[in-house]
Amino acid sequence: MSDLPNALALQRNALWERLGLASLIMPALLLIMVTMLLPVGWLFYLSVLSDSGAFSWEHYQRMWEHPSYGRTFATTFRVSLLTTGICILLAYPLAYFLSELPKRAANLCMVAVLLPLWTSLLVRTYAWLVLLQRRGLINNWGIELGLWDEPLTLVHNLAGTLIGMVHVMLPFLVLPLYASMRAIDRNYLRAAANLGASPLRSFWLVFFPLALPGLSAGVLIVFILCLGFYVTPAVLGGGKVIMVSSRIANDIEIFFNWGAASALGVVLLVLTALLILGTARLTRLGNIMPPGGRP
């Protein structure tokens, strides 16, 4: 092999090419080191220190012993599940509609879908507060139109939290769903119809499986974002919907207990990671592109 002319030089070239490629990820790798791994490591370190600074599992022990922590985690998962579920119900038909539009019209509509992402989260959340409160726009209109007599409690409870969170999360589901639906060759649906599938069966047997990678990607993104969500539940939940994030904030701002807060953070992180692994196993998330997307 190596007695071929220029064999060594060619090998060297190949090596440089690989190194060049690898160097492209260095900035991102450094950034993740500094902004992710170090703080998370630090969190973990803090969570196993007692108040006196000695090594101890007391923060985890407390979480295990106090039922209120369990309730907080249950609330967090319930709110996240509900939000994700409502988002699916809203986003699926919307994404399907968009994927059927001509490209130009669809792009325009996508801008409308993404528009909320360009405004501050806090502004949007307080806007919902204005709309949903006892004497807010929605209650006034509802009563004036005679839809209901007494002002509904739409805020500072689960309903308000869900409304706000669904609003924030919707684009994150529509985006991957739309992309994966757009990539589905409509000839598959024609073929299904031709072979005898009613529209409903052709949707269930052909369209849904082909759009599944987009759906599972979007669901995962939304659910994970929900788990750690702070601003909207804190403002619209009004202290009645206590999620892990609120509890962490309380521990730090009110009790100055970094250890307890860190332990909460670590548990949430581990639960989330387990969840991703589980879902990835179930839906083969690696396969984000629908198989039909390839020519």
Partner 1 sequence: MARNSSLPITIAQVTKTYGKVSALDHVDLHIKSGEFLTLLGPSGSGKTTLLTVLAGFTRPDGGSLKFGDAEMITVPPHKRDVGMVFQNYALFPHMTVAGNVAFPLKLRGVVGAESARRVERALEMVRLGGYGARGVDQLSGGQRQRVALARAIVFEPRIMLMDEPLSALDKQLREHMQIELRQLHEQLGMTTVYVTHDQREALTMSDRIAVINGGRIMQLDTPRAIYERPANRFVAEFIGESTFVPVTVAAGRLMLAGQPLQTAEPLPADGQRLLMLRPERLRVLAHSEDPGPGFNLLAATLAATVYQGDSSLLQVALPDGTRLQVRSASIGAAAPTEPGRALRLALAFQDTVLLPPDGAPA
The answer to whether 227 and 79 are in contact (CB under 8 A) is: no
Nearest residue to 70 (alpha-carbon basis) of 240, 232, 242 = 242
Q: What DSSP letter does each residue of 119-175 carry, written as one string?
A: S-HHHHHHHHHHHHSTTSHHHHHHHHTTS-SSPP--SSSHHHHHHHHHHHHHHHHHH
The distance of closest approach from Cβ of residue 286 to partner 1 in the complex, given in angstroms and rounded to an integer, is: 15
The C-alpha atoms of residue 80 and residue 243 are separated, in whole angstroms, by: 10
Nearest residue to 283 (alpha-carbon basis) of 226, 188, 214 = 214
| Residue 67 vs 196, nearer CB to partner 1 | 196
The C-alpha atoms of residue 203 and residue 52 are separated, in whole angstroms, by: 61
The distance of closest approach from Cβ of residue 216 to partner 1 in the complex, given in angstroms and rounded to an integer, is: 14
* 191 is a contact residue toward partner 1 (CB under 8 A): yes
CB atoms within 10 A of CB 35: 10
* 292 is a contact residue toward partner 1 (CB under 8 A): yes
**Residue choice 35, 187, 204, 255 for contact with partner 1 (CB under 8 A):** 187
* 202 is a contact residue toward partner 1 (CB under 8 A): yes
The distance of closest approach from Cβ of residue 92 to partner 1 in the complex, given in angstroms and rounded to an integer, is: 18
User: For residue 55, what are the β-bridge partners?
Assistant: 49
* 289 is a contact residue toward partner 1 (CB under 8 A): no
Which range binds partner 1 by CB under 8 A, 15-23, 235-243, 268-276, 284-292?
284-292
* 209 is a contact residue toward partner 1 (CB under 8 A): yes
| Residue 51 vs 185, nearer CB to partner 1 | 185
Contacts with partner 1, residue ranges (CB under 8 A) = 185, 187-188, 190-199, 201-202, 205-206, 209-210, 290-292, 294
